[in-house]
Amino acid sequence: MANKKIEKKDEVKKETKKTPRKTTGTKTTKSTTSKKSNTKTNASKKKTVKKVELEQIDNKIEEMLINETKPEQSIEEVKETKEKTKFGIFEYVLLLIIISLIFSLLGYFIGLKGNKSLDDNYVTVNKELREFIEEYNYILENYYGEVDESKLISNAIEGMLSTIDNYSGFIDNGSNNNSISLKGEYEGLGIGVLNNSDGNIVIATVYNDSPAYKVGIKVGDIVAKLNGEDLTGQDDSVLVDKIADLDNINLTIIRDGEELQFNLKKENVIIKSVTSEMLDGNIGYIQVSIFAENTDEQFQTALTNLENQNMQSLIIDLRGNGGGHLTTVKNMLSLFMNDTHVIYQTEDSDGIEKIYSTGTKDKDYKIVVLQDLGSASASEVMASALREQLNAYIVGNTSFGKGTVQTLRKVEGIGEYKVTTMKWLTSNGNWIDSNGITPDLEVSLTEDYYNNPTSENDNQLQAAINYLKEEN
């Protein structure tokens, strides 16, 4: 139940399908005298191949807008002009991205600025598109060295997103620990690692029922070798990278000065995001660390087990839970209330939509929610819905205050990014962004807890228990 977390790099972080790393090899210095004429000739050829014929792109976009062609059809038409325009693969990817943005912007202008004509919208967007492509071509044609076009495009997307808000941004698939955590499972050994003060790689986490757990690897073990290769003094990311490319793995572990050998094979590892127990006074306790894809199933199992033990009241601990999938929290809340209850609302350019519970009955026992500054997004959805719909009591600190929703987009061959597409409101229509949810009982953890993080020293938990005992 301790809420204090160890900051570490997890094996989960990189044991995914990796996108190719960029090549950053050393460049050979070229003579500026003997090869000057050849450089000009090559540059001229490069311009012929890379130059984007802007007038053709303008005509294609204008045709799409006037004929109201669907985006998917327009993209196929643009692909057929490859030989005419001399596009490379990355120019095509860039064009697909820009066309998507054009239609998004067009919908915005038509919906919110109806007084502007279609022609006005076209001219505005097309001018910006022309400027972007001109600069893109200039960089490709005039940069003195080789250009990684994939990185150029991904950085362009990242640059656009960086001007929007703090939650929109490009995601590096090679180190996307958060995405794996939200999925709730991954292919690996089931370990988390970090570097200790001596610079050695140390096992910081071992997931239950994982390959590492089954063979007896323990927290605190030092990873000395991987398949015979010495890892002494190496960064923990080296181990993570190498494991991602292997099937059969031998780890040489140092434990209490003794060298041990462990042979492992990667398996599907389920990340446990829910823990539970029955406290004195028939008070159920469920801690939720993240709202992953499989958290609702784990939560339902834990809740059912507690109710079968004659649970009289419930504490839901959302401290340090930064959020996750809205579908997951909707399923969890539907366990507590019938379908007449609004769970939360969303608002975008099309208006406000109310999201209802899919449950069949209301729970009649008392509920306390524990939260702190680290409770955000989906955690705030759950806390606010339980309070506004079932009079749940909130103990702890004011929550983070994240009232927006992000959508994940994938760009073939480059990666994926997330962009804020709407804001969410509480079931009563309140927007808590930047303000957070104020608890009914403000309680901060004491120094005793940080020095010795036990249930007895957890004064927030004890305050919740005392409240329920008084109410019962």
- Active-site positions read 377, 402, 406
Answer yes or no: are the C-beta atoms of 112 and 349 closer than 8 Å: yes
Q: What is the DSSP string of 343-383?
A: EEEEEETTEEEEEEP-BS----SEEEEEE-TT--THHHHHH
Helices (H) and strands (E) in the chain, counts: 15, 20
User: In angstroms, what CA-CA distances link 166 with 163, 320, 372, 406, 420?
Assistant: 9, 19, 21, 11, 9
Answer yes or no: are the C-beta atoms of 465 and 282 closer than 8 Å: no
Instruction: Name 268's bridge partners.
Output: 187
Residue partners of 243: CB distance under 8 A and separation at least 6: 11, 15, 188, 189, 226, 249, 266
Structure tokens at 23: 């090549």
Answer yes or no: are the C-beta atoms of 333 and 385 closer than 8 Å: yes
Give CA–CA dist 448/459, Å, rounded: 9
Structure tokens at 234: 């190496």
Amino acid (one-letter) located at 229:
E
Pick from 265, 280, 177: nearest CA to 227: 265
Strand 366-371, strand 393-396: pairing:
parallel
Answer yes or no: are the C-beta atoms of 378 and 326 closer than 8 Å: yes
Give CA–CA dist 296/306, Å, rounded: 15
Number of neighbouring beta carbons within 10 Å of residue 291: 29
Give CA–CA dist 153/148, Å, rounded: 9
Give CA–CA dist 361/390, Å, rounded: 12
> Given the structure tokens 């030092």, which residue do they identify?
222
